[in-house]
Amino acid sequence: MKGAGVAPGHDPVPAGRRARAALDAAERLLDTARRLLDDHTRAVTAIREAFGPLQRELMETELRAIPVSRLRDVTAGRLRLGALEQAGFTSVHEVYEAGRHTLRQVPGVGAHTAGQAVAAATRIAEAVGETVSVRIDVDHPEPRTTALVVALHRLVEAGPGLRRAHDTAERLATELRALLPQAAPARGRLRLALSGRDGRARALGAVGRIRRLLDEAAEAEVPLLFAQMSVDLLREPASEIEAWVDFELRSADYYGVLTQTAGGTPDVAAAEGFMPSEIAGRVRAQPLDDTRLRVSLRGYQSFGARFALAQRRVIIGDEMGLGKTVQAIAALAHLAARGGTHFLVVCPSSVLINWTREIGSRSTLRAIPVHGPERQEAFTEWRERGGVAVTTFDSLHTLPLLRAREGPGDRTGTLRDEPRMLVVDEAHYVKNPDTRRSRAMSDWAEHAGHVLFLTGTPMENRVAEFRSLIRRLQPGLAPAVQGADAVVGAHAFRRAVAPAYLRRNQQDVLAELPALVRVDEWEELSAGDLAAYRTAVADAHFMRMRRAAYARPETSAKLGRLRELVTEAAGNELKVVVFSYFREVLTAVHQALGEGVFGPLSGDMPADRRQRIVDRFGAVPGHAVLLSQIQAGGVGLNMQAASVVILCDPQVKPTLEHQAVARAHRMGQIRPVQVHRLLAVDSVDQRLLDILADKNRLFDAYARRSEMADATPDAIDVAERDIARRIVEEEQLRLAGGADAAGGPGGPVGPGGPGGGSS
């Protein structure tokens, strides 16, 4: 601290006082860190105490089903079980519960046999404990699962910052506990003088390290982070209904916290894509800076992001629903935190809006859509300011590579290592190296620091396609990619191509099956869609506005995305249910998908015929598609054979949507259910969601859970006609630029009204 009138090199604050101030600040920081760790421990303990009885019950059920004879297998046949079997012991559970002392009371069972039997039963119990998965049934809550959900809510609500705060608190607490005693002599001049030469050196060195820790903590705003997380951890427990509602909305986050705190971790080899140990070890050692992320990663997602960073030029081919996008964003965020400025995402036009939204909601990175007539201006902005440029395959060839000038008079420029990462979504779009889009992508990939291809289709089923993609990433690996590896099996194939390919399946890494994953698929209306939409708005026809995105199937953006989702589901042999309010929308979907589609189910179809169609759909091995009006399929039918649900249009009655999803996401479902809701920006879809979001979420969900709400869903939905009139008025004003549109604000809702249209 220097100021006017102070001699150079002279510090007006005595060194002892400055040291005491630093040590006092360090003790306060240590105390804050300890309190945070204690609060976190209490929250984790509450989860484990709620989880324990549920896990033990599942273990006991499993152990009761294992015959006592299996104990002999564990001991390689050395265990004599005759006396135990004669005494009535029939299951491993009975031996495990009995213990050594009880078994020794059995005639013919000595101390050695009793010890062996209990040890074998314990080994089996431990193995069972690692494999059983506690599933939280939202449709049948009971006191024990309610206690678990309430306990989990505290950590889920704290958000992704909690893990960062916890890890930082642990590191600071460890360092400060060691440094403060060493630095203690620096509190007083006399005490420091009496410490001897070595003691003084240790004390002053410790003070210096403490100051650096304090500066780093202040720069990273650690005290503020600790304060925020402490507030979250010390909140009053959520009410039971609030916790259950929140669980319904983001069950994946709850299961993620449960896995981190109470065990139940999926098989590590599967979570790491059955990767050879030397590559897996290198990936695990790769740091992952999450300071610019807004979400917590599951363990397998963290591994995927590290894989992309450590191996630099790779394909992540996880099964759909496992979060390939968030893994890519995590890798981008890490590079940005380490100084990266320019990143590029290339994707089909149907998912460009989703990428832009996901980057903004899941990270602090700035996404810039580089698409459409203003793409050159957007590209210039990205080149000058940095961020994540999101462009399409068809636009990429129009964008010049980033160049850095060597000097003022240099016109040629030299290529930089930019972008720091190139992400290519739906990478199979560039499998043919001779196409213009593939050549453009290869030019960018050649000069990118990292390249990440994403695809949801299993490459072991497409060896030639994989070889083509791998040549763009790691040419030296391409000759080693042989079809024979795929013939041997998926695991063998993945091991053979491990340096460049990572794939995980849902059943391998999501131990909490079934989870519910919701994705809003935002699309821009095509020119044809927009023309039909404008006409419907001008006519004040609300129902035609809702289905305008499908009025011209040949150019429909929503239909294009629907076909992509169905194709990916087919590649993974997943069954799909497609819901729409409108029969003519389902007709357009049927025509777009072609033959082999079941349905559509409709409201005027007899119930027994609907059930027969659903049964045939479920009986088909592998992939199949079922179409249904949401009013017909949303009630009374069980569609748990499907694990992908596509909603063609948002509903005025939220209960219709919830009930339709519940047809697939229910008891009997053995896979996570993915719900894709197709939405159009700047349209009735967006207005409808904005209005419905204003409703009280807690009351709506509570009413949905009541028996009366299930019987009379109309009772809790807002007035449809009011919603329709409001949206029509707003859209007429918006499209007319504030002037009265045809029909005028306050005009008729249109033929059929909010409940009319095709049914």
DSSP code per residue over 370-424: E-STTHHHHHHHHHHH-EEEEEEHHHHTTSPPPEE-SSTT-SS-EE-S-SSEEEE
- Residue 134 CA, chain-centre distance (Å), reads 20
Report the C-alpha gap between 257 and 47 in whole angstroms: 9
- CA distances, 31 to each of 28, 173, 179, 226 (Å): 5, 8, 14, 11
**Tens digits of residue pLDDT in 599-638:** 898 878 876 788 788 888 888 888 999 999 988 755 445 6
Q: Which residues contact 270 (CB under 8 A, 6 or more apart)?
A: 504, 505, 508, 509
Same domain, 526 and 501: no
| Residue 545 belongs to some domain of the structure | yes
Q: Classify residue 36 as left (phi > 0), alpha (psi -120 to 50) or beta.
A: alpha
pLDDT for 11 equals 46
Helix (H) or strand (E) holding 438: helix 436-446
Same domain, 592 and 648: yes
C-alpha angle 625/630/633, rounded to 5°? Answer: 65
Domain boundary among the residues 468, 483, 509 is at 509
Neighbours of 618 (CB within 10 A): 16
Same domain, 729 and 632: yes
pLDDT for 487 equals 44
Same domain, 490 and 520: no
* % of residues, the chain, pLDDT over 70: 82
Domain boundary among the residues 509, 536, 566 is at 509
**Tens digits of residue pLDDT in 132-148:** 778 787 767 899 999 99
pLDDT for 753 equals 45
Answer whether residue 1 shows pLDDT above 70: no
Report the C-alpha gap between 557 and 500 in whole angstroms: 33
**Tens digits of residue pLDDT in 243-270:** 998 887 777 788 888 888 886 555 677 7
pLDDT for 476 equals 79
Report the C-alpha gap between 648 and 655 in whole angstroms: 16
| Residue 151 belongs to some domain of the structure | no
Domain boundary among the residues 207, 225, 243 is at 225
| Residue 281 belongs to some domain of the structure | yes
Residue type, 574: L
Report the C-alpha gap between 503 and 481 in whole angstroms: 16
Same domain, 492 and 528: no
Report the C-alpha gap between 131 and 663 in whole angstroms: 28
Report the C-alpha gap between 170 and 38 in whole angstroms: 11
Say if CB 413 and CB 447 are below 8 A apart: no
Highest mean pLDDT of the ranges 208-212, 400-404, 722-726: 208-212
Answer whether residue 755 shows pLDDT above 80: no
Higher pLDDT, 352 or 327: 327
Same domain, 283 and 196: no
Same domain, 521 and 460: no
| Residue 252 belongs to some domain of the structure | no
| Residue 745 belongs to some domain of the structure | no
Report the C-alpha gap between 423 and 472 in whole angstroms: 13
| Residue 591 belongs to some domain of the structure | yes
Q: What is the mean pLDDT of residues 339-344?
A: 95
Residue type, 284: R
Q: Using the 8-state DSSP alphabet, how is residue 714 labeled?
A: G
Same domain, 632 and 652: yes
Answer whether residue 747 shows pLDDT above 50: no
Q: In the numeric block, which tokens belong to residue 385?
A: 């300011």
Range of the domain at 210: 13-135+159-225
Q: Which residues contact 759 (CB under 8 A, 6 or more apart)?
A: 582, 583, 603, 629, 631
Q: Which one, of 452, 493, 513, 412, lies nearest residue 137 by Cα?
A: 513
Higher pLDDT, 584 or 431: 584
Same domain, 377 and 473: yes
- CA distances, 166 to each of 25, 66, 217, 489 (Å): 19, 41, 14, 41
Instruction: Tell me the pTM.
Output: 0.64
**Tens digits of residue pLDDT in 508-517:** 776 654 567 7
**Tens digits of residue pLDDT in 200-239:** 888 999 999 999 999 999 998 999 999 999 999 998 999 9
CATH of the domain at 426: 3.40.50.10810
Among 39-43, 129-133, 344-348, 657-661, name the one with the lowest average pLDDT. 129-133
Which residues on adjacent β-strands are paired with residue 450? Answer: 421
Number of domains making up the chain: 3
pLDDT for 112 equals 87
| Residue 246 belongs to some domain of the structure | no
Same domain, 442 and 336: yes
CATH of the domain at 648: 3.40.50.300
pLDDT for 2 equals 40
Report the C-alpha gap between 255 and 550 in whole angstroms: 37
Same domain, 308 and 454: yes
| Residue 535 belongs to some domain of the structure | yes
Q: Which residue has the tokens 């024979």?
A: 484
Task: Using pLDDT thresholds of 50, 70 and 90, give the confidence band for residue 458.
Answer: low
**Tens digits of residue pLDDT in 630-676:** 887 554 456 667 889 999 999 887 767 877 776 666 544 556 788 99
Mean pLDDT of the chain: 82
Task: Using pLDDT thresholds of 50, 70 and 90, give the confidence band for residue 494.
Answer: low
Neighbours of 292 (CB within 10 A): 17
Q: Which residues contact 41 (CB under 8 A, 6 or more apart)?
A: none
Between helix 196-219 and helix 222-233 the angle, nearest 10°, is 70
Same domain, 436 and 300: yes
